[in-house]
Amino acid sequence: MTAVSFLLLISGLKKSKKMVKYNNHVGLNERMPSYQVKLGLGLHLGYAIEGAIGSYYKIDASYLSPNVRMAERLEGATKAYGVPLLISGALHKYFTEKTKQQCRQVDYCTMNGNPDPVQLFTIDVDPSFIPIEDDGNFMTLKQMKIERVHQRILRNNMREAAFNNEIQISDSFENNVEIMVMRKMFGKEWMETYEAGFTDYVNGNWKLAMNSFNKILEMKPDDKPTLNLIAFMKETNLEPPTNWLGHKFFAE
């Protein structure tokens, strides 16, 4: 549910006329050329300790554990991997089969203090295919408030139905127009080509992996996860290091 909600948030930012004006703000672009509001999310599974921090006037809930730290590291690593969403293997294995089919493994890496390689996944989307909202959808302030209430009721009903196993949130990949539009270029051929290359990469058959990854770049020249893997393999002339257990590209 969290992954689907995040994807819809990405599409909402892309189609919002207010965000377009914000991104084109003269002052912001003078200080930060080509300014854009972007989102990054890291998803992991594990325990956490909840506690209150603050003062008598303001108290916030805080969560502490190695798992919280992992989620933070995943969020920070979205920039390096060029994707808006990174999912750990620990969470991915609990996804439904339908949701797993939408995921792409972007790395298999080791981290300081953890000898076991960690699987990293993403759900590919291209929000550039989402059109900016039409002016014809303009609503009065009263209408906007009513619409927000309707949307809140719909979300609550959907959450309750999902918890009662009356609906599958993963069906959104097949019936939500915005998600389908953002994922339209990441079809069967894309996934099969990439998975073949990634399997060869993990197994140490890097020359074969290069053939598949080059095909991916023909379909999407700016695919950052593929470019990262190619750059790493070229560091050793397409020969895996001795006792290689994974690509150490993870943001520490």
pLDDT per position as a tens digit, 85-123 = 999 999 999 888 888 989 999 988 776 656 677 889 999
Tell me how far the alpha carbon of residue 59 is from its chain's centroid.
30
Region 230-239: mean pLDDT is 90
Q: Tell me: the pLDDT tens digits for 171-183?
A: 777 778 888 888 8
Which of 158, 189, 192, 186 lies closest to 173 in space, CA to CA?
186
The answer to whether residue 221 scores a pLDDT higher than 90 is yes
Tokens of 83: 């994707």
Buried b (16+ CB within 10 A) or exposed e, 22-60: ebeeeeeeeeeeeeeeeebbbbbeeeeeeeeeeeeeeee
